[in-house]
């Protein structure tokens, strides 16, 4: 059996996210904090012989790092979907979010016992994107925006 090799779906993902990014964020009040403004920094690098994208993230509020995350993106061979595992300083065990491209937007969805989440990477040109998280917690009828960030490549 031949080893899988990265293809066009990998190249698209990597070309959009690889590199160092920073930007302003707006957080809504939530069970995890009061909300407000923050600065986000992300570094994405290709790994595992070109089969994965590794993401390191820090969020700064009030001149201190208050949240960290680690993401792993893979392209599912059978479907072409992008799978995204997210580990962070809150410590919840990760289930992958499943994503698909719609034009220049990469949309992810995920359901856990804590609720549902939708994530959007909206790319505008080669060096900018907007990232939006929407949550629907148990008992809520609609999704509400939890976080929005506008990032540029360094």
Q: Residue 21: pLDDT band by 50, 70, 90 thresholds? A: very high
Domain positions in the chain are 8-153
Q: Residue 3: pLDDT band by 50, 70, 90 thresholds? A: confident
1 has pLDDT over 80 = no
Query: Counting Cβ atoms within 10 Å, is residue 149 exposed (0-12), middle (13-18) or buried (19+)?
Result: buried
48 Cα distance to chain centroid: 19
Instruction: Provide φ and ψ at 37, rounded to 5°.
Output: -95, 155
User: Strand, coil or helix: what is 16?
Assistant: helix
* pTM recorded for the entire structure: 0.94
Taking a C-beta distance cutoff of 8 angstroms, is the pair 77, 63 a contact?
no
Q: Which parts of the chain fold into alpha helices (H)? A: 8-17
- Residues 59-80 have pLDDT tens digits of 999 999 999 999 999 999 989 9
- Intra-chain end-to-end CA distance of the chain, in Å: 41
> Under CATH, to which class is 8-153 assigned?
mainly beta
Q: Which two tokens stand for residue 78?
A: 């059978």
Block residue for tokens 């491209």 = 101
Taking a C-beta distance cutoff of 8 angstroms, is the pair 43, 154 a contact?
no
């Amino acid at each position: 059996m031949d080893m899988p090799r990265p293809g066009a779906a990998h190249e698209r993902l990597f070309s959009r996210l690889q590199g160092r990014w920073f930007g302003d964020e707006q957080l809504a009040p939530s069970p995890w904090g009061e909300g407000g403004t923050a600065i986000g920094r992300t570094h994405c690098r290709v790994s595992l012989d070109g089969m994965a994208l590794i993401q390191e993230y820090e969020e700064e509020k009030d001149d201190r790092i208050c949240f960290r995350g680690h993401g792993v993106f893979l392209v599912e061979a059978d479907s072409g979907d992008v799978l995204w595992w997210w580990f962070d300083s809150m410590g919840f065990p990760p289930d992958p979010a499943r994503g698909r491209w719609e034009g220049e937007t990469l949309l992810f969805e995920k359901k856990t016992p804590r609720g549902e989440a939708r994530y959007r990477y909206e790319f505008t040109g080669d060096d900018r994107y907007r990232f939006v998280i929407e949550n629907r917690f148990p008992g809520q009828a609609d999704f509400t925006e939890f976080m929005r960030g506008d990032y540029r490549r360094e």
